[in-house]
């Protein structure tokens, strides 16, 4: 078996922080990303395979606002359904754009099949995130706006961690102050649980497609979070957002990937990030990576989950996990740049 590469794309692959997020802007970013992916596909040897996953943060937040704005005209959809909408939206953009760029590349690349899959990821109802949600989503609110939402929508503001308000937390009706007091006129934001992914529900099907040489786009936005409703294993959606890198690692396991490539907006993970003595991390062994993570070098809300996902992948049996920027993808695969975690 050749190299099996799972590529996890960050938000900058779809929407830049300074952009509004119009269709044209998102397609332009997707095109830049697909150019890099085609370069990797063209370099594949016999038996090599590529699969792709991606985030959905800005898109799912915008869709949530649109649902609420139109709720007086048509019913707003449940959050897991909104997550599936974003998965379909982004998957379509990547599927079509990658197909077009492969045709432009010509040769064997022109015949490479691409498909985006609507994909569920299993989580546990006992995950501690359901007792204290942490993932911010959607727009910001003033204190007055937050109180109005609590009054009219049943939201809970800054609830204590633990069993109290458990059902409200599980259905997303939580608002927390996510910015320091006085730092902004709108310091409040909705937060939803971000449970740890257990398994990719359609992993076997995705593996079969990858085996056939299909470039599969799946587990978008961390996958649609679902849990088992009863002993028969029937599934139901849950109000949550799964970290896309951790879910991507589960997808990597499902397809028996040898390599895991996390593409973000920086060339390396950094030690002492933001300090005068910051320095890039090159290649490190598993134990060293675990030590650096435990020492707090990688922030929980940014680089931390990426490093943790890479550690999990190598622990599972992966050959190499790499973190780098989109424009350095090819050089990182060649070992010329990026942060690499190896056994």
Catalytic residue positions? 11-12, 135, 244, 306
Going by C-alpha positions, the residue among 186, 211, 207 that lies closest to residue 253 is: 207
Q: Distance between alpha carbon 195 and the CA centroid of its chain, in Å?
A: 13
Helix (H, G, I), strand (E, B) or coil at 218: coil
Record the tokens describing residue 257, joined without a space.
Answer: 């990937």
CB count within 10 Å of CB 25 equals 15
Cα-trace Rg, the chain: 20
Record the tokens describing residue 112, joined without a space.
Answer: 């490479």
Torsion of CA 256, 206, 218, 221, to 10 degrees: -70
CB count within 10 Å of CB 81 equals 13
Residue-by-residue DSSP string for 263-317: EESSSS-EETTTSTT-EE--EEEHHHHHHHHHTT-S-TTTHHHHHHHHHHHHHHT
Torsion of CA 249, 247, 264, 102, to 10 degrees: 80
Q: What's the sign of the alpha-carbon dihedral 33, 38, 43, 45?
A: positive
Angle, CA 266 vertex, CA 261 and CA 267 arms, to 5°: 65
């Amino acid at each position: 078996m050749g190299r099996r590469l799972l590529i996890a794309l960050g938000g900058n692959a779809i929407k830049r922080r300074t952009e509004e997020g119009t269709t044209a802007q998102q397609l332009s970013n997707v095109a830049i990303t697909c150019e890099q992916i085609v370069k990797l596909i063209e370099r594949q040897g016999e038996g090599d395979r590529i699969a792709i996953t991606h985030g959905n943060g800005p898109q799912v937040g915008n869709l949530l606002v649109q649902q609420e704005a139109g709720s007086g005209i048509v019913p707003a959809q449940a959050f897991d359904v909104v997550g599936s909408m974003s998965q379909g939206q982004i998957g379509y953009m990547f599927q079509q754009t990658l197909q077009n760029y492969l045709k432009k590349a010509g040769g064997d690349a022109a015949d490479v099949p691409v498909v985006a899959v609507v994909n569920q990821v299993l989580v546990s109802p006992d995950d501690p995130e359901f007792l204290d949600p942490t993932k911010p989503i959607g727009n910001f609110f003033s204190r007055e706006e937050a109180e109005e939402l609590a009054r009219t929508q049943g939201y809970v503001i800054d609830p204590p961690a633990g069993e109290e308000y458990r059902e409200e937390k599980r259905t997303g009706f939580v608002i927390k102050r996510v910015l320091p007091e006085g730092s902004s006129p709108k310091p409040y934001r909705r937060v939803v649980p971000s449970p740890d992914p257990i398994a990719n529900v359609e992993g076997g099907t995705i593996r079969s497609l990858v085996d056939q040489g299909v470039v599969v786009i799946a587990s978008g936005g961390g996958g649609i979070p679902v849990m088992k409703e009863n002993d028969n294993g029937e599934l139901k959606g849950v109000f949550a957002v799964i970290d896309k890198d951790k879910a991507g690692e589960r997808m990597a396991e499902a397809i028996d990937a040898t390599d895991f490539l996390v593409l973000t907006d920086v060339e390396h993970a950094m030690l002492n990030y933001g300090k005068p003595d910051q320095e890039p991390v090159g290649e490190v062994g598993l134990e060293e990576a675990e030590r650096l993570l435990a020492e707090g070098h990688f922030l929980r809300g940014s680089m931390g989950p990426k490093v943790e996902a890479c550690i999990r992948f190598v622990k599972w049996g992966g050959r190499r996990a790499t973190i780098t920027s989109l424009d350095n993808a090819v050089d990182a695969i060649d070992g010329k740049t990026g942060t690499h975690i190896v056994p």
